[in-house]
């Protein structure tokens, strides 16, 4: 076999392999110049896992079953990220002013959705949420069924082609409490069924081990996003404590009206006395326009796939090999 043709066929085989296997890049940069920032994403696999049906309290609903792979931010969105969004936009998102690396709070659901839309459009992707008015804290409109997300059931809040979004109830719950090794669920997002130790900051490597969280009425407020307590079974920080987080899903689970209350979950630094607040067994509804001092958010995204340009390069090499083979035959 001609040397160049052989190399081309090998390249094509490698390209085919890469196309069928996900790349696990987990750090994405957004913005430009002095307004650049990065977000770390962790892939959540085990698509089609069973839901948790054991909750009997306020959160008495099956949760956590997701039929597809996706990614979720390892950390909550920081004040610095919001500041850099604001620096590049005419729309200005309200936020806390506790420190650049602190979890951003006072951000409404609508404002968080504006931020997520920009993550999409700044990278050339479809916006996740259908804003038809100009106010930063005005409600979205529902997508038509033809444009709405359909995986796991119709979701008219989210566009089917969005690459970044606010995590749904099931996406958030699975990332926080699901153990991919056993297929079971923990009660706390520190890979434990016992209440976490209350700390003002930590990363799960100190005296308490991984079972620590920023809760218990910490007067210092939220911790830096990389010091927000122990990790979930999936390696996500701060899903028990630090700040409550917005879920995309409406409180009644229907996503049928833009004005419906959205869910906050996970507990916060000022959750005092009752560990249920930082457990899997608590959820509460709040208006999508509410700006609350102990509520922030994190971002979810599509699972990583190889860049189409990579396939083009390998295909060109294969075609080049064939072309050289033909030229040699003609001589």
Count CB-CB contacts under 10 A for residue 98.
17
Residue 265 near residue 168 (C-beta atoms within 8 A): no
Each residue's pLDDT tens digit, 246-283: 999 999 999 999 999 999 999 999 998 899 999 999 99
H or E element at residue 246? strand 244-250
Binned at pLDDT 50, 70 and 90, residue 61 comes out as: confident
Sequence-distant (≥ 6) Cβ neighbours of residue 304 within 8 angstroms: 22, 23, 24, 25, 26, 41, 43, 71
Distance of alpha carbon 324 from alpha carbon 212, whole angstroms:
63
Mapped onto helix, strand or coil, the DSSP state of residue 70 is strand
Q: Residue 197's beta-bridge partner residues?
A: 212
Does residue 24 surpass a pLDDT of 60? no
- Start-to-end Cα distance in the chain: 17
In the chain, what percentage of residues exceed pLDDT 90? 80
Per-residue pLDDT tens over the stretch 282-321: 999 999 999 999 999 999 999 973 343 433 443 444 444 4
What is the mean pLDDT of the segment spanning 50-72? 90
Is residue 66 a contact partner of residue 174, using CB atoms and an 8 Å limit?
yes
Q: Residue 55: its pLDDT value, please?
A: 80
3-state SS class at 30: strand
Among 31, 3, 19, 303, CA closest to 164: 303
Report how many helices (DSSP H) and strands (DSSP E) the chain contains, helices first: 5, 13
Fold held by 24-304: 3.90.1580
Closest C-alpha among 105, 110, 53, 82 to residue 266: 105
Phi, psi of 291 (to 5 degrees): -115, 110
pTM of the model: 0.86
């Amino acid at each position: 076999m001609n040397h160049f043709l052989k190399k081309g066929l090998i390249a094509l085989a490698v390209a085919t392999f890469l196309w069928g296997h996900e790349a696990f890049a987990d750090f994405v940069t957004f913005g430009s110049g002095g307004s650049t920032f990065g977000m770390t994403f962790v892939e959540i696999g085990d698509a089609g896992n069973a839901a948790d049906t054991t909750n009997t309290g306020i959160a008495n609903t099956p949760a956590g079953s997701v039929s597809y792979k996706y990614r979720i931010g390892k950390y909550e969105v920081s004040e610095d990220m919001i500041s850099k969004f604001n620096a590049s936009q005419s729309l200005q998102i309200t936020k806390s002013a506790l420190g650049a690396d602190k979890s951003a709070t006072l951000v409404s659901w609508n404002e968080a959705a504006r931020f997520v839309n920009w993550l999409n459009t700044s990278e050339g992707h479809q916006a996740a949420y259908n804003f038809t008015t100009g106010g930063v804290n005005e409600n979205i409109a529902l997508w038509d069924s033809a444009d709405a997300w359909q995986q796991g059931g119709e979701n008219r809040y989210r566009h089917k082609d969005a690459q970044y979004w606010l995590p749904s109830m099931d996406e958030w719950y699975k990332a926080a409490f699901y153990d991919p090794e056993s297929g079971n669920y923990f009660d706390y997002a520190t890979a434990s069924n016992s209440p976490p130790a209350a700390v003002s900051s930590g990363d799960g490597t100190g005296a308490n081990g991984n079972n620590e969280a920023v809760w218990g009425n910490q007067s210092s407020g939220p911790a830096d996003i990389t010091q927000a307590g122990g990790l979930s079974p999936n390696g996500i920080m701060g899903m028990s404590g630090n700040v409550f987080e917005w879920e995309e899903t409406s409180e009644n689970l229907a996503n049928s009206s833009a004005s419906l209350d959205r869910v906050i979950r996970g507990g916060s630094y000022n959750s005092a006395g009752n560990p249920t607040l930082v457990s899997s067994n608590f959820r509460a509804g709040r208006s999508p326009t509410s700006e609350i001092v102990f509520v922030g958010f994190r971002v979810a995204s599509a699972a990583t796939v190889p860049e189409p340009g990579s396939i083009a390069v390998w295909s060109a090499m294969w075609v080049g090999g064939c072309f050289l083979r033909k030229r040699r035959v003609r001589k």
